[in-house]
Structure 1
Amino acid sequence: MKIKRNGRIGALIKILCDNPNKIFTLSYFTNKFNAAKSSISEDIVVAKRLMEDLELGRIETIPGAAGGVKYIPLVSRRENKEILEDICEKLSKPDRIIPGAFIYMADIIYDPTIVRKLGEIFATQFKDQEVDYVITVETKGIPIAIMTANALNVPLVILRRDSKVTEGSTVSINYISGSTGKIQTMSISKRAIKNGANVIIIDDFMKAGGTAKGMMDMMNEFDANVVGVGVMIATKEPKEKIVKDYVPLLILDKVDEKSKTIHVYPNEYLI
């Protein structure tokens, strides 16, 4: 069945966007659309220009025998501002305050539309790194981490609080939580990560950085290189974290139970 150019371009963009950072050969599209390579090449040029003009990411062509075309999710500063300010508005509502000066965030963390965009923001920040795995610790960091892994087209590895018999031989370490000061344990299957891999760490919250430091220490057991750390929310205090280089999306200044106020704002570097 012959497909007209507009139809091919629409389908091509859909396929690429559904599979970010995955390389598709020209032959894949010529077979799928029953079209000549020259026609597909022209379609890609139009699609590439359209995506860039609308700031919807970048379509990149890879030359050579093993080359092809792929879609790279890129979130502009303008879009970062819109997304992060919208989340701040949601998080600032007084009824989110939980006894103990905690904030209820489950509805945001488990909203697929929101965490997909957060994953793309993180992927944009780490796009220049050669990433082999995204690492997180159960449980609240998982949705954001899996969306980041999807945008980068790499596997997600989850560090467990308790080892599972189904994971086979595991490596376990103790670490001190920066928020509670308590000693906790995390474990990972020995088969989960290849030695010497490049990884980024993604988590939902950082106060002092103890959990992120624990994940970094765990990566040392695999001789892995931590090339980036990203968190959805980092507290303003303490200013000096255990982890020095990290990318927060939002900064939590304070939660006042008495006045029922929450002050949270986007990371200015991103907007």
Structure 2
Amino acid sequence: MNKYSRNQRVTGITKILTENPNKTINLKKFTELFNAAKSTISEDIVIVRETLSMLAMGRVETVAGAAGGVKYICGVSQEESRIFAEEVCEILSHKDRLIPGNFISMTDIMYNPEIVHKAGVILASAFNELHIDYVVTVETKGIPLAFEVAKMLGVQLVIVRRDPKVTEGSTVSINYASGSTNRIQTMSLTRNSIKKGSKCIFIDDFMKAGGTARGIINLLKEFESELLGIGVFIENIESGHKLVEEYVSIIQFKGISPEGKSKLNPSEIFEKA
């Protein structure tokens, strides 16, 4: 069998851990893969752990027990998060982003793999300690972001429909009031999507008044499940009162300037950076 240098082992271990966030990997996998003793692999993992910690790129935790091992927990520094938010604010503040009705054109942003990945890591890092079962989102623009968050937390993504699909079988539907217009809308979820008693977070691309988030809370109650957190890419603070009290956002939208530009800035969570 091949023999690997320490540099090669450390590189391989880092890749495996970071590509499987929040998943416990038994040391036996590494000893067999690299044809190395358990003590050697343990020393390699210490190097990986210390390096990721120094670079504020997450952490490696040890899981005790017969079925234990190590797992990678995603992370990002406050400074890097703030810089990322400022860069996105700059992109979205261009005049050509404004469309009739004072909306911001952001579809290309929400489907940009690099941007969505970074935003996903930031939001996932905020919910690392909740030990959730599912990430929930509403179709359609928030799906890429919610997928990234689910991937970084190592859990399944659940997509709530605006309209039920016949091909998805039996569904649970509720009516809810939009927080901004108070218009009655509908959301649906297939009965086999979530197990009873599950703990979830809700991820979306934009929050105006929080009506959709409030609807998600009520929908999850139909599954005897609980919403533990809410994360959004952009929140509209110009709209004033929100129907939900606790949530995490990356960017704040503060309306339109007299020059016809969107007023955006990094969320308050970055003020301590």
| TM-score range relative to shorter protein | over 0.9
4+ residue segments displaced more than 3 Å: none
Equivalent in the alignment of 1:265: 265
| More displaced 10-residue stretch of structure 1: 129-138 or 172-181 | 172-181
Letter in 1 for 2:62: T
- Please tell me whether the aligned partners of residues 135 and 156 of structure 1 are also in contact (alpha carbons under 8 angstroms): yes
Identity %: 51
User: Is 1:94–2:91 an aligned residue pair?
Assistant: no
Question: Secondary structure at the residue paired with 1:237?
Answer: helix
Deviations 1:32-68 (A, max 9, x none): 1111111100100111111111111111111221210
- Judge conservation of contact 2:180–2:239 (CA < 8 Å) in 1: no
Task: Report Cα offsets for 1:188-224 as digits up to 9, x if no partner.
Answer: 0000001110000011111111111111110110111
TM-score, structure 2 normalization = 0.96
Q: Provide the rounded CA distance (Å) in 1 between the counterparts of 2:113 and 2:75.
A: 18
Paired position in structure 2 for 1:134: 135
- For 2:245, the equivalent position in structure 1 comes to 244
1:248 to partner: Cα distance: 1.4
**Displacement of 1:166 after TM fit?**
2.2
Distance 1:109 1:179 in 2: 22
Deviations 1:131-162 (Å, cap 9, x if unpaired)?
Answer: 00000000011111000000000000000011
Residue 3 (structure 1) aligns with: 4
Count residues with an aligned counterpart: 270
Q: Is the 8 A contact 2:163 2:186 kept in 1?
A: yes
Conservation of the 8 A alpha-carbon contact between 1:102 and 1:255? no
> Partners in 2 of 1:49 and 1:211 — Cα distance?
41
Alignment of 1:157-168 (within 5 A): 157-168=158-169
Q: Give 1:181 deviation, angstroms.
A: 2.9
| Structure 1 unaligned spans of 5+ | none
- What CA distance in whole angstroms lies between the structure 2 residues aligned with 1:19 and 1:66? 17
SS in 1 for 2:61: strand
CA distance in 2, matches of 1:197, 1:250: 29
CA contact (8 A) 1:162 1:186 kept: yes
- Secondary structure of the 1:244 match is coil
TM-score normalised per structure 1: 0.97
- CA distance in 1 between partners of 2:11 and 2:242 (Å): 46
| Superposition pairs of residues 168-247 of structure 1, within 5 angstroms | 168-247=169-248
Deviation of 1:260 (Å): 1.8
Measured against aligned partners, the alpha-carbon deviations of 1:78-132 in whole angstroms (never above 9, x if no partner) come to 1111111111111111110001100010111101111111111111111110200
CA distance in 2, matches of 1:144, 1:26: 32
Gaps of 5+ in 2: none
Q: Which stretch of structure 1 is more off in the superposition, 178-187 or 16-25?
A: 178-187
Give the RMSD, CA atoms, in angstroms: 1.1
Give the letter for the 1:267 counterpart: S
Equivalent residue number for residue 84 of structure 2: 83
Partner Cα separation in structure 2 for residue 208 and residue 53 of structure 1: 39
Residues 175 and 186, structure 2, Cα contact 8 Å, conserved in 1: yes
User: Quick check: 1:97–1:255 contact (8 Å CA) kept in 2?
Assistant: no
Instruction: Tell me which amino acid in the other structure corresponds to 1:35.
Output: A
